[in-house]
Amino acid sequence: MSELSPPKPIREVADVDFARFHEEIRPANEPVVMRGVVRDWPAVAAALESDKAIVDYLIGCGPRKPVGAIAARPEEGGRFFYNGDITGFNFVSGRGQMEQFLRDLLQVSDDPRPPAMAMQSEVIPDVLPAFGEANVLPLLTDVAPRIWIGNRIRVSPHCDLMENVGCVIAGRRRFTLFPPEQVVNLYPGPFELTPAGTPVSMVDMQEPDLQRYPRYAAAWATAQRAELSPGDAIYIPYMWWHGVDSLEPVSILVNYWWNDVPKDISTPYDAMLHNILTFRHLPPQQRAVWRTMLDYYIFESNGDPAAHLPEHARGMMGAPTPELFARLRATLRKIVG
């Protein structure tokens, strides 16, 4: 990374309450570090005491149901990624009891060269209900929290299809964020095979190969970075790319994903995949025509495309209602069969 300047810091705020979060932070659509938002959580107090104390705390919450976990060999340097020829991954997956995973994590915490270990995105009300009842984020009381547990691991930059608040419980975490438009400079991997649900950047943030990925320098110029300690939280806006480095042998994050969109609409990600099938292989002249049509009808580059029509004649371009969405779905079913 010696060729690239350090990224600028993510803006930090303190004393965030429900009103400030929803009326100031979210509408700005910029990442924000919220220092000390969950410092009063019992889980954070246990983590600050010791690694053993937080492991004992989690086990004391009565884990239930098997959980998924992944592991990579020490020589991978904590980076969960692809294998050498991108035919699979450099880690293995399995399922087991959370208590055993926690004890294994603690057992290798003093190892100078441990395997990378992670338990990812388990829904807390399902697997640790007592934890969820004792550790509540007042900013998002109606969103189900998820828990992520591991050691010193590296997650490649990727984007989520939702807004995200991540709360650090144990260990320090470093977040590096890129705005959504930097997808053109981040060299995403394949859709069909991805370690993070959506495509990840193929560039190693620790050792970027700028000869192979020259546009990454432009992405890096827009990057923002922050290091969070137990009790801190970060707001990651919709579709912002983020890479995450866990910096301690026991690292725990609780996150909240949500979308404020009509529940009846289709997933934009799925629609994009259908657009790849529909538009990508048209002749260039035809693709240019359809770009104009999409800009006009979907992205409203010239304002409301149905504004010149009376309301009763706007049809599928009318105001969003459950009835409209039902008609659209029925029309699409006729088209696709």
- Asked if 209 and 203 touch (Cβ cutoff 8 Å), the reply is yes
What's residue 1's pLDDT? 47
Contact criterion met (CB below 8 Å) for 169 and 54: yes
How high is the pLDDT of residue 334? 85
- Which tokens is 272 given? 């994009």
Q: What is the pLDDT of residue 260?
A: 87
pLDDT for res 188: 97
pTM: 0.93
Mean pLDDT by 10 residues, the chain (337 residues): 84 96 97 98 98 98 95 96 96 96 96 96 97 97 96 97 97 98 98 90 96 97 98 98 98 96 85 92 96 95 94 90 88 80
Q: How many C-beta neighbours within 10 Å does residue 212 have?
A: 10
> What is the reported pLDDT for 337?
64
Three-class SS of residue 101?
helix
Q: Tell me which of 1.20.1560.10, 3.40.50.1100, 2.60.120.650, 3.40.50.1240 is the CATH number of domain 8-258.
A: 2.60.120.650
- The reported pLDDT for the residue numbered 64 is 87
Confidence at residue 247, expressed as pLDDT on a 0 to 100 scale: 98
The CA distances from residue 253 to 121, 211, 232, 267, 321, in Å, are 9, 35, 10, 26, 37
The strand pairing partners of 168, in sequence order, are 253
The residues of the chain that CATH labels 2.60.120.650 are 8-258
To the nearest 10°, report the CA torsion of 187, 191, 196, 200: 0
pLDDT at position 115 is: 97
* Residue 29 region by backbone torsions, left for phi larger than 0, else alpha for psi between -120 and 50, else beta: left
